[in-house]
Each structure stands twice: as C-alpha cells, then as structure tokens.
Structure 1
Amino acid sequence: MSQSEVAEQVGVCQSTYFAWKNGRSSPNAKYYVKLATAFGVDL
C-alpha cells in the first residue's frame, strides 16, 4: 500500500502521514484507530 493510499484511508493528506511516518509529528488517538484498521492490526 502506498503512502497516499494509507493517507486516503485514514482521512489525512499525504504530507501529514509522511510526517507521522518520519517522526516529525504524531497522530492523535482517533487516527491510531484508523491506522490500525488500515493495516489490519490491533492496538
């Protein structure tokens, strides 16, 4: 899955997801749930 696909599933722009991935910022709790769902993992 590409970064843009993950960002779209989670509901953020690609630059926001890129910042999360590179440790420049962190998602809030609502996005942790959406990320876990996108990747098919449990929190």
Structure 2
Amino acid sequence: MTSKTVTLKACSLLFEDHYTMSKDSHRHNIIMSQKLYMSA
C-alpha cells in the first residue's frame, strides 16, 4: 500500500464520520428549534 492510498482511506473514513455526525447534529438542531418554537 502506498502512502497515498492510506491517506485517501483515512480521508474517506473521516468524511463518513463527519457526515454521520452532521446528520445527527442537524436532526438535533431541528429538535432544539422545535422545542424553542414551542416554548416561545
């Protein structure tokens, strides 16, 4: 394995991780804004 392949693999893993996290935080933000809207 070349170092390029390793870097690409690591990057794609990081990207997937980030994507999953941002999907979760997006859902979290929606829930929070709904709560704020309800309490307003």
Shorter-chain TM-score tier: 0.3 to 0.5
Going by fraction, where is helix more abundant, 1 or 2? 2
Task: Report the TM-score, using the length of structure 1 for normalisation.
Answer: 0.30
Q: Greater RCO between the two (CA within 8 Å, min separation 6)? A: 1
Task: Report the TM-score, using the length of structure 2 for normalisation.
Answer: 0.32
